[in-house]
Amino acid sequence: MEKTYSHESLKQFAVRVFVKMGCPEDQAAKAAEILIAADLHGIDSHGVARLKGYVRLWEVGRVNTSPNIKIVHETPSTAVVDGDSGLGLVVAPAAMKVAMEKAEELVRGGAYDIVILDEITVAIDFNLISVQGVIDLIENKPDNLELILTGRTCPEALIERADLVSRIDEIKHPYQKGLQARKGIEF
């Protein structure tokens, strides 16, 4: 027999599971939010169905529910973040916060004519960063700076503020023939 649950009840269930594992309440809520966002976007492989896998990793000691997240190396535009074996659902928003801080510094710093924030709309879509943070970045950028945002499912609020919006649709791709990702092209 199939049962249907509201996304809010699934979110509360996931929060309870993460808290039971030892996650602080705020991190548990963020992790659950991300799982629900994946489900609501039809990406079931990254949704609540993954909860069981996180519990199993925790049971065998492979997940740190109170990670010490830190930057171990950085440049003006990048950072290597050590997640201390924390849940990716917790570490990713922390890393995205660092990425947004770097983006803000690059945009406002005046040293560049162009800044590309690759796949940023995906990070917004998965609630890793706020759309308002990106709007603030757009609205406060210097006039002589070209700011390029890429990704799928761009929020209408960003489209309204953009000078140019393009959509790229996949028509043919090497993956369709079973070819794997190529170094220097896809990664």
Q: Which of 59-73, 75-89, 171-185 comes out lowest in average pLDDT?
A: 171-185
CA nearest to 99, candidates 149, 64, 142, 140: 149
The mean pLDDT value for 18-29 works out to: 94
At residue 109, what is the residue type?
A: G
pTM value is 0.75
CATH for 7-59 is: 1.10.1530.10
156 pLDDT more than 80? yes
Instruction: Say what the pLDDT of residue 144 is.
Output: 93
Question: With 80 as the cut, is the pLDDT of residue 186 above it?
Answer: no
Binned at pLDDT 50, 70 and 90, residue 154 comes out as very high
SS3 of 71, please?
strand
The correct answer on CATH 3.40.50.300 for the domain covering 70-177 is yes
Average of pLDDT values for 82-93? 92
The CA distance from 17 to 63, in Å, is: 14
Q: Give 71-87 pLDDT, tens digit per residue.
A: 999 999 999 999 999 99
SS (H, E, C) 118-157: CCHHHHHHCCCCCHHHHHHHHHCCCCCCEEEECCCCCCHH
Which of 149, 121, 123 lies closest to 34 in space, CA to CA? 123
Could you tell me whether strands 146-149 and 114-117 are parallel, antiparallel, or unpaired per DSSP bridges? Answer: parallel
- Cβ-based neighbours of 139, under 8 Å, separated by 6 or more: 161
Delimit the CATH 3.40.50.300 region(s) of the chain: 70-177
Instruction: Tell me if 181 sits within 8 A of 187, measured CB to CB.
Output: yes
Amino acid 101: pLDDT: 94
Rounded percentage of the chain residues whose pLDDT exceeds 70: 100
Delimiting residues of CATH 1.10.1530.10 domain(s) in the chain: 7-59
Alpha carbon 173 to chain centroid distance? 24
Calculate the CA dihedral of residues 135, 42, 13, 3 and round it to 10 degrees: 150
